[in-house]
Every structure is written in structure tokens, then in C-alpha cells.
Amino acid sequence: MTRKEHIEQQVEATLSSLNGISRAEPAPFFHTRLMASMEAGRLTATDQFARMISRPAFAITMALVFLLLNGVILVGLLRSRQGNTVEDPAQSLAYEYTHSTPNNTFYANNPEHP
Amino acid sequence: MSEQILIEGLRRGDQAAFTELVETRQSLVYNTVLGLLQNAEDAEDVTQEVFIKVYESIGQFKGESALSTWIYRIAVTRSLEHLRMKKRKKRFAFLTSLFGENNEPLHEPKEFNHPGVQLDNREKGRVLFARIAELPENQRIAFTLHKVEGLSYQEVANVMRTSVAAVESLIHRARQNLRRSLEDYYKQQG
């Protein structure tokens, strides 16, 4: 047998080495380990969330955020009130009545006129 | 438990249905993942991830394919993601070693012995799996599903969402590449 034939033979044998291969099985109690992993994953996520919201730094930060928001809204409201040009209607009418120039001049100059 | 009843149970979050799924499909998943990853520890981890994914995503299973086909797809996808992640880690480790941050040698892949290979074929099986790991991704998937998991061309086509002709072509090209690689290997062996 030549070297080339020998190599070809080995190549063919290697390519056929998976013939009759059987399925590999996971290690025993795979289901138990899987359930443990799933439980650990679930606990980790919930636990992390609980830990986060119970930390003082988180609570203080949230309190400051709420205060800041309240402050921004309050300042906004105050500014809108100061810039408000709408007057009380009764006051507006009184102002017009007392400061209306033609009427005042007439009665002032004609006291006998009712 | 019939497949339809199993799926309904899984959708309800029924523990008994999930146990049934794991016990009847764990070999299918593990063998597929092991064939692709060629590492028993990684295969155990990824097999767990596959079942967790099945549990979380059963609501998205539309029943257009068989449940096993869907599970094979998840197994292949997760295995490829794992391989890519390992590659990225290797590259990063190489870069840090260049900058002198990590003096540990790069981890060399262990030789892989598939436990299902017959005893007198172990040595050749090891050589073959090393060459399979060097195949292009799609050829590797098709070859592994067909030769290691024993799926027919039609079943492989269903998993890979392609045609039977495409699978035939992939496996043919895989064989050609493996043959070439093995010839070089045995020539070097002398």
C-alpha cells in the first residue's frame, strides 16, 4: 500500500468514526440542578430589587427627586400668578367708573344736572 | 403526555409538564449542544439555558413546527451565542496580555471525546471533532445535527429553516473540507 492510499484509508476511517454514535446524556439529576438554577435566578432578581429599594441612599434620592419635582411645579405656579394680567371684574368695573374721564368732568362741571 | 397537552401545560406554567419536557428532551438538547460546543461543562450550562428559554418563551411558540424542531433551534442558537462569547473573551484576553495586564497563557481547547463514540473509534473521533470545530458555521451545524444527533436531511432543513437541497450541499461541502483537513493532518503525522 502506498503512503497516499494509507492516508486515504485513515481519512475514510476517521470520517466514519461517528457511525453508530449514541446520544450523550447529561450528568444524573439534571432536572434537579436545572430547577435549582431557575430558583436561584428568580431569587436573585427579586432579592436585588428588594435590596435596591430598601437602601437608605435610594430612599433619600427618591425623596430629593420628589421634593425637586414639587419645587419645580411650585415655582412654575408662582411665576404664572405674578405674570397674570386678568383682574377681579368688580375691581375692574370700579376702576373704570372712578377713572372714566368724560363722565367725571361733566358732573363736576354741571352740579345742577342730575 | 401528548405534545399538544404538553404545550398547553407549559403555557399554563404547569410544573409537571415542564418536568416531563425536561426528562424527555434533555438528551436531545444536551447531545446537540455538546456536539457543537465540544465541552461537557459548557454543554451542561447551555442545556440549562435552553430549557429556561423554552420555559420563558413557550408563549411565542406558534405550533407551525414540531416542538422538538423549535427546541433544536433554540439549542443551536444558544450554542452559537456561547461560542461567539468565548471567542470575544479570548480576543480580549489576548489584548490584555499584549499590554501586560494578564500573564496567564491563553487557554487551549481540550481535546474532545464524545462519550457516545464507540470505543474503537475514540481516537479517530477525537481527530474528527477537532476538524469539525474548524468548519464554517452553517456546515458545522448541518454536519453536527446530521451525524452527531442523527437527524435526517429533512429534519435538519426544518431546524435550519432551509431546503433539503441546501442541507445536502452544506453537508457535502463539510465532508470535502473535513477530508482536505484530515489529509493534511495525516500527512503531517507521517
Q: Are A30 and B26 in contact (CB under 8 A)?
A: yes
Q: Which pLDDT score is estimated for B106?
A: 47
Half-sphere exposure of A73 (CA within 13 A, CB side): 6
Angle at A73 between CA A71 and CA A79, to 5 degrees: 100
Rounded Cα distance between B61 and B74, Å, is: 11
The answer to whether residue B85 scores a pLDDT higher than 60 is yes
B112-190 belongs to CATH 3.40.50.410: no
CA B51 – CA B103 distance, rounded (Å): 37
- Distance from A15 to chain B by nearest Cα, in Å? 7
Q: Higher pLDDT residue, B94 or B181?
A: B181
Of A14, A18, A20, which has the smallest distance from its Cβ to B182's Cβ? A14
Instruction: Give the contacts of B81 (CB within 8 A, at least 6 positions apart).
Output: none
Residues in Cβ contact with B62 at an 8 Å cutoff, skipping those fewer than 6 apart: none
What's the pLDDT score for residue A14?
Answer: 97
Q: Tell me the pLDDT band of B2, cut-offs 50, 70 and 90.
A: confident
- Whether the predicted pLDDT of B73 surpasses 50: yes
Is pTM, for the whole model, over 0.80?
A: no
Rounded distance between C-alpha atoms, residue A30 and residue A9, angstroms: 40
Using CA coordinates, name the residue in chain A closest to B55.
Answer: A38
Write the pLDDT tens digit of every residue in B7-46. Answer: 999 999 999 999 999 999 999 999 999 999 999 999 999 9
Task: Work out the mean pLDDT of chain B and round it to a whole number.
Answer: 91
pLDDT digits (tens, 9 = 90+) for A44-100: 555 556 656 666 677 788 899 999 999 999 999 998 887 655 556 677 677 677 765
- Angstrom distances, CA of residue B67 to CA of A48, B2, B149, B166: 34, 11, 16, 23
What's B1-110's CATH class?
A: mainly alpha
Suggest the residue from A9, A10, A17, A39 to mutate for an interface test with chain B (most B CBs closer than 10 A): A17
Three-state SS at A29:
coil
Rounded Cα gap, residues A51 and B11, in angstroms: 31
Residues ≥6 apart with Cβ < 8 Å to A98? A104
> What is the helix (H) or strand (E) element at residue A15, kind and residue range?
helix A3-15
Domain boundaries, chain B: 1-110, 112-190
Contacting residues of A for B127, CB less than 8 Å apart? 14, 17
C-alpha to C-alpha distance for B102 and B112, rounded to whole angstroms: 27
The DSSP 8-state label assigned to residue A74 in this structure reads: H
pLDDT value of residue A51: 56
Angle between helices B122-132 and B164-189 (to 10 degrees): 120
Q: What is the mean pLDDT of residues B151-171?
A: 98
Answer whether A23 sits within 8 Å of B28, measured CB to CB. yes
How many C-beta atoms surround the C-beta of residue B106 within 10 A? 9
Q: What is the pLDDT averaged over residues B119-141?
A: 96
Put simply, the answer to whether A18 touches B121 (Cβ < 8 Å) is yes
Model confidence at B81: pLDDT above 50: yes
Task: Identify which has the larger pLDDT, B104 or A64.
Answer: A64
Can you tell me the mean pLDDT for A15-31?
95
**How much is the ipTM here?**
0.85
- B47 and A10 within 8 Å at the Cβ level: the answer is no
